[in-house]
Structure 1
Amino acid sequence: MSNCRRLVSLLTLALPLAVAQATDVGYVDMQQVIEKSKVGAKVQEQLRKDFEPKAKPIGAEEQSIREAQKSLAKESALMSKEQVEKRQAEIKKRIAAFEAAAAPFQQELMKAQKERGREVLEPAQKAVEAIAKQKKLGMIVERSQAGVVYLDKSLDITDEVIKQMDANTK
């Protein structure tokens, strides 16, 4: 290989390293922002107030089905095959009814979480951008995103994002 080709190869390998070193990176844990910021806590509390009354009967039915399954598992040795099959069919029927009742609730909850989540994400995005500019960070990644294998704790700006959001929350 000629010297020119070697130089080009070395520059090709070194250039990404030089660019990566020139740009500082930080990260933020958005789950903590949602849980620990004032606006996030307010949104979570409102969702809890809105959906807890609807969730209680669904949770009670789920628990009742589990108890029926445990009871059948304990008692099946003393029952006839027909009795076991009848109880299994009853439980399957209850599970199907439970799933049919729970599905719309889950969809409604997810829709509300998504809509109300914007109330947290928009100010969080502004706070992240402000901190990135202040610290001269070229990139901020979300801590829990797939593909991130290691993050140095010194790059974490989560607490600063929460402080800035809380400072701007009434």
Structure 2
Amino acid sequence: MKKMIAIALLMLLTTAASVQAAEIAIVHSMRAISESKAGQQINDEIKKKQAAYESEVKGQQQKVQSLQNRLKQMRTQYQSGMIKEEQFRKTQQELASAGAQLNVLGEMSSVNFKKDVKKLQAPIYKLFSDVLAEYAREKGYDAVIDVARGGVAYGSKSIDITDVIIKEMDNRWKK
């Protein structure tokens, strides 16, 4: 039995010694993307899009609020007989319509904003992926582990290539 264990241990040590050490690096993809010139430019464009959508929704919210205030005033006038029921009902219908439009606008703005963000971010993700793959091949890395996706408990700064990737992305980004 001792002989079999010794042989198994010897085989294991021989196999382990013959395996080459892998060249591994780590990268912080989210930091590379957000700190690069490209990422900052795209983030600014996203903020502009967001402001435009919010402005459109705010305009419709103000319309609804105005109709609510008008209806509140009309209710008192209607109850005292100063205005006809037809006028009061017409304003109620306008408010209901404006509220429905606000709901649709809010939902559509959210959907469209998400599509816009995805479309704006696509080039930066492709750039990151291309730069990372090319750099890893040039430097002979067998693996590059993305810290942002988890799984790295520790990574020495000496194997962190994030800063190099940011510089290369900045060099390639068309302004």
Q: Settle same-fold status: TM greater than 0.5.
A: yes
Contact residue 34 and residue 120 of structure 1 kept, 8 A? yes
Q: Secondary structure at 2:134's aligned position in 1?
A: helix
Partner Cα separation in structure 1 for residue 129 and residue 112 of structure 2: 25
Partner residue, 2:26: 27
- 1:111 aligns with one of 107, 111, 115: 115
Retained in 2: the 8 A contact 1:28–1:156? yes
Tell me the alpha carbon deviations over residues 47-80 of structure 1, each in whole angstroms, 9 at most, x when there is no partner. Answer: 1111222235769x8xxxxxxxxxxxxxxxxxxx
Alignment pair present for 1:47 and 2:51: no
Q: Distance in 2 between matches of 1:45 and 1:10?
A: 60
* Higher gyration radius (CA): 2
- Tell me which residue corresponds to 2:35: 36
Counterparts of 2:111 and 2:23, CA distance in 1: 40
In the superposition, relative to structure 1, how do residues 117 and 3 fare at CA in structure 2: closer, same or farther (>3 Å)? Answer: farther
What is the TM-score with the length of structure 1 in the denominator?
0.62
| Match status 1:149 vs 2:153 | yes
1:64-118 residue CA offsets vs partner (Å, 9 max, x unmatched): xxxxxxxxxxxxxxxxxxxxxxxxxxxxxxxxxx998655444433333233222
**Partner AA of 2:120 in structure 1:** R
Contact 2:49 2:113 in 1 (8 A): no
Give the AA of the match of 2:42.
V
User: 2: distance between equivalents of 1:118 and 1:47?
Assistant: 12
**What's the secondary structure of 1:27's corresponding residue?**
strand
Q: Which residue of 2 aligns with 1:77?
A: none
Task: Give me the whole-angstrom Cα distance separating, in 1, the residues matched to 2:110 and 2:47.
Answer: 13
Q: In structure 2, what is the equivalent of residue 76 of structure 1? A: none
Structure 2 gaps of 5+ residues are 62-101
Residue of structure 2 equivalent to 1:129: 133
1:155-170 aligned within 5 A: 155-170=159-174
Residues 135-167 of structure 1 deviation map (CA, whole Å, 9 limit, x = unaligned): 221101111223222111211111111111111
Structure 1, unmatched stretches of 5+, are 62-97
In the alignment, the residues of structure 2 paired with residue 3 and residue 100 of structure 1 have an alpha-carbon distance, to the nearest angstrom, of 77
What is the number of residues matched between the two proteins?
A: 134
Q: Is the 8 A contact 1:26 1:137 kept in 2?
A: yes
1:3 equivalent in structure 2:
3
Tell me how far apart the structure 2 counterparts of residues 26 and 119 of structure 1 sit (CA, whole Å): 24
Q: Distance in 2 between matches of 1:102 and 1:150?
A: 43
Alignment RMSD: 3.3
TM-score (structure 2 length as normaliser): 0.60
CA distance in 2, matches of 1:16, 1:116: 47
Q: Which amino acid aligns with 1:41?
A: Q
Paired position in structure 1 for 2:69: none
Distance in structure 1 (CA, Å) of the matches to 2:130 and 2:9: 41
Secondary structure at 2:154 match in 1 = coil
- In 2: Cα distance, 1:104 partner to 1:117 partner: 20
